[in-house]
Amino acid sequence: MMTTTGAGMATIVKAMRGGLLALVVAAYWAPLWAETVGEAAKQNVTSAPQEQITWISGGVSGEARDEMRKSAAAYSVHLMFSNRQGSYLADIPFTVSKPNGRELYSGVSAGPLLYLKLPPGVYQIAVQLDGVWQNRRIRAGTSGYPAKASFVGNGK
């Protein structure tokens, strides 16, 4: 059996009071700390909005392709989606990123033609065809001299 002297007991009680005080302070401030963490989490979830990039897509029918081509001169990047047999593809997810990987925009092209108004510079364009992401590095020029790229799916 272990016995504790009066001085030893006083030390134990002091240590317990200190621990109890720390526990009370932590419990008191916990809701404020949780709110701060919650606000930080909201900022992560609602990260910076996408860049405002003007784009049009379509061209499913011949008439729609003609309409798209009439407005093509106003866009600096022209993309086309098809399969190996030459059939046009629609509902294609795409992303536009800077070369460092920072995503500027993501969307879904409603048709086989996608025209983007991007400032002159280098971009990474990624599209999902047949469940596989394909990437192309393009150099956007001016509207009069657009960058052009075709993405071809496997047809699976």
pLDDT single digits (tens) 77-102: 999 999 999 999 999 999 999 999 99
- The stretches in the chain having pLDDT less than 70 are 1-51, 143, 156
Q: How far apart are CA 19 and CA 27, in angstroms?
A: 12
pLDDT of residue 35: 41
Token readout for 95 is 């992303």
Domain count, the chain: 2
Which residues pair with residue 106 across a beta bridge? 95
11 and 82, same domain (yes or no): no
pLDDT of residue 52: 81
Domain with 114, as residue range(s), is 54-153
143 and 70, same domain (yes or no): yes
Scan for tokens 């048709």, then name that residue.
111
pLDDT of residue 151: 97
pLDDT of residue 5: 53
58 and 43, same domain (yes or no): no
Q: How far apart are CA 123 and CA 147, in angstroms?
A: 11
144 and 74, same domain (yes or no): yes
